[in-house]
Chains A and B, each alone.
Chain A
Amino acid sequence: MIHYLDNTATTPLCQEAIFRMTEYMKSDFGNPSSLHLLGINASVKLEKCRGEIADKLGCDKNEIYFTSCGSESNNTAIFGAVKAKRRDGNRIVTTATEHHSVLNCMEQLEKDGFEVIYLTPDEKGKISEEKIFSAVTKETILVSIMAVNNETGAVNPVECIKRAVKNAGSQALIHIDGVQAFGKTDLSPLKNGADLITVSAHKIHGPKGIGALYIKKGVRILPLILGGGQEKGLRSGTESTLLIEGFAGAASALPNQKKAAEQVAELNRYLREKLSEIDGVTVNSPDDGLPYILNFSCEGIRSETMLHHLERSGVFVSSGSACAKGEKSHVLRSMGLSDKRIDSAIRVSFSRFSTKDDIDALVSGIKDGFNKLTRSKR
């Protein structure tokens, strides 16, 4: 029996995505840019998919640009915005808890002479409105903040960025990394006022290798990949029609956000309750975070050890973020947690398909681990 509780790393394909991709593989292969009928068929389907994804995000279909993944969307948004705005100023505001596909871009921009402000979170991983307001100045050209943190589930107050930018009289573009938020909480640009939003298919039960970037109508950023001018010149390269079909299938299958969130919140509460009965467990996630993610530390047992112990009983979790393979979590560190707590952190992440059974298996695995595993002496 598999208890997959690492849905922040990736999710299994949902039936709708599988079905639509399978049908597509059997019927279509045309290049959407071809002038002939096969090309037209492909482009009609492609535009339909674009519309389905736009619907879920709450934007116009022409504001969706396909990329190869969330990392590419983040890179495109950041470098594209900075290239377009570089004459307006030199200051960029982001946070210390971003994904590496944002942080490593920022590091590069620092080398190129930009001033990058990294906002630090409180001890629960959240960035405060005040910090955002005081960091954004007139010279700021880009504010890039994630909607939901992938390691802790902390929800950042991204709606206040727009006001902060206005207050400062700045022309800054607003980028929101919405990879973990998409489909789970309201990410609508009409609500949060973002100019750029990153989303990815494989976190919502779609295929890997396809992402999208929302670019608000009228906002101009420069492309990273040049070529045949696909995606209105913003991202050249023949569109991955098959994966886009799967992306759209997954997006259109997303259930009512509120209902799904309530159901997951129930699981989250249940897990917290069970964990509170185990001696040595400390929850690192905020109480008001996204219910889909729960991060906690198991005193004296290293993350990787617990992770491998749990996998023996079919429970799959993560130690920090999957992309950082074995390195200490920069997110937990920025929250000021002790090394002991960082080294023993476990991240559990649910999907709408998670069940109480999964949690029971997890909890009994953790209890068993505390009984059997040799504790670290440091």
Chain B
Amino acid sequence: MPEMVYQLPDARGHFGPYGGSFVAETLVPALAELSAAYQQAQADPAFRAEFNYDLKHYVGRPSPIYHAQRWSALLGGAQIYLKREDLNHTGAHKVNNCIGQAMLARRMGKPRVIAETGAGQHGVATATVAARYGMECVVYMGAEDIKRQSANVFRMKLLGATVVPVDSGSKTLKDALNEAMRDWVTNIADTFYIIGTVAGPHPYPMMVRDFQAVIGEECKLQMPEVAGRQPDVVIACVGGGSNAMGIFYPYLDVEGVELIGVEAAGLGLATGRHAAPLTANSRVGVLHGNRTYLMQDENGQIVETHSISAGLDYPGVGPEHAWLKDSGRARYVAVTDDEALAAFHALCRLEGIIPALESAHALAYAAQLAPTLARDQILLVNVSGRGDKDIHTVAEKSAIEL
């Protein structure tokens, strides 16, 4: 990477006061082994070459950047450009990271991979890559999420993965993560845990960011070609925050580019039924191996979150986002279920693109921001995934009969 001023995390995975490695003793050596293997792989040109080859020929990268002209014109302000991660194989940005981690698993001689999934996109991507590499694959998914993402559950099964429903706690993404951690600690010798977001203990937040950084790296090359210059604002949705870190990271040292992460305001921040720990200024705490902003009660118990989008329905956020918020380099906002839904429909009808409900949050904020800016301003929005998986949710919420 060319002369980045930004050098985080430190050797033990800290982004300022955030991140780290808060795990039970059994996992400590496994994480040390993983860190060492990752460091070695990074230094190996053959690893990077194979990663790039797979991104190109298997995923279909680079994903294009598309000027949403009709939508921009309708909104009557800034020009909106879309980074089309929805066009990747498996339909979302998640696959970038899965290829990297599966390659690492293979290098480390681990024949079995496990994953947690919320919306199912990370589960599908993991199952896909596991099928291709001939690895056993087990995906943990909250029972609640299995209900709202049945198409992705079927895809994972088609790909040969075992999908394990998680009935504990709130039966969503955080509980799936707990269960995957339990599996890992039990089967640590032969199992690689492919975490899907920029959270978890070190080195996961760094490693996932690095694998996803291809999104922003491409944008930096594509924007001058497509729009004549770099964007004024980059917008991405944030649950755990992997697609956002992927597009933000290469722009961190680019002056004049504003970075905005969009969280899920659910039914509204004031209702408490949301998944926006950064925007709501939740208390900092420790969960899932890292220190970050966390939605919790006064006793430190993690509270149930709500979002129309399963992929954003998470009480924490990647530690690097916590750091970027505090440092002011990125700004975090939240949009409600209804606002996301409206943006979802707008993109379908005006641009012929069905975005994931997660990505619709980023689009919804772009729709709020664009009219306040001049027509020569440029917004770059990460369309992190496609919305086929969400058709049942959207039909139900929008009272459409299938």
Same assembly = no
Q: Could you list which residues of chain A lie within 8 angstroms of chain B, going by C-beta atoms?
A: none
